Amino acid sequence: MIGAPQHPRHVTVGVRRLLAAGLWLAGAGATPAWLCAQAAPVTELKAAFVYNFARFAEWPPDALGSGATVVACVAGDDRLAEALGAIVRSRSADAGPMTVRRLDLDGQFEGCHLLYLGNLDIKQAVSAVDTLSGLPVLTVSDLHGFATTAGGVIELLQENDKMRFVINTRTADRLRVGLSSRLLSLATIVKEEAGATQP
């Protein structure tokens, strides 16, 4: 689990500002504060996305019992692990329990409910996803093609001044990871047809 914060004070302040602004839709037609890349440094913004992915995901009972702690693992990106740890420590009172683990890309991913993979190529991504052997793990990465080619569930991408994400619902269903309709409404969804997407 991530220990005491190792990042500068401005990172913690930025995370608190993101949380205070509301990391999700406040109302119909509103744009979530965390969709704007200018709202915080990119690493902290990605961490905010990952935190929300975990909040709006649902795992099968055999993977996560009622009231159990969600284990969010981060491999290959220590800065994002630190930023995610800061968000978890500053989370609102109604958020469920969550812990953050920092792993190596070639490490073991047992016990992870969410796995963020950073700083890797497509071959490494495919290998990491294959290592999970169909376990109900919500995989996330900013690698191009992660959700459409590498077998991952969620792919983060930055377009101009906005952060967006792609969700492969076919993969999520196969892994038995449920995703909130509120999350899906903000994503680009990968259709059943290979390579096809819809906004």
Can you spell out the DSSP letters for 7-69?
Answer: S-HHHHHHHHHHHHH-SS--STTPPPGGGBGGGS-HHHHHHHHHHHHHHTEE--TTTS-TTPP
Q: Is 143:122 a contact under the CB 8 Å cutoff? A: yes
Q: What is the Cα–Cα distance from 129 to 109, expressed in whole angstroms?
A: 10
Over residues 122-178, the pLDDT tens digits come to 999 999 999 998 999 999 999 999 999 999 999 999 887 788 999 999 999 999 999
Q: Residue 1 domain-assigned?
A: no
Q: Residue 31 domain-assigned?
A: yes
Q: How many domains does the chain have?
A: 1
Q: Is 69:98 a contact under the CB 8 Å cutoff? A: yes
Q: Residue 2 domain-assigned?
A: no
pLDDT band at 196 (very low <50, low <70, confident <90, very high): very low
Domain CATH code at residue 185: 3.40.50
Q: Residue 3 domain-assigned?
A: no
Q: Which residues contact 150 (CB under 8 A, 6 or more apart)?
A: 122, 125, 126, 129, 141, 143
Please give the residue range of the domain that contains residue 45.
Answer: 9-198
Over residues 4-29, the pLDDT tens digits come to 333 333 334 444 444 433 444 333 23
Torsion of the alpha carbons at 9, 118, 163 and 94, rounded to the nearest 10: -60
Q: Residue 168 domain-assigned?
A: yes
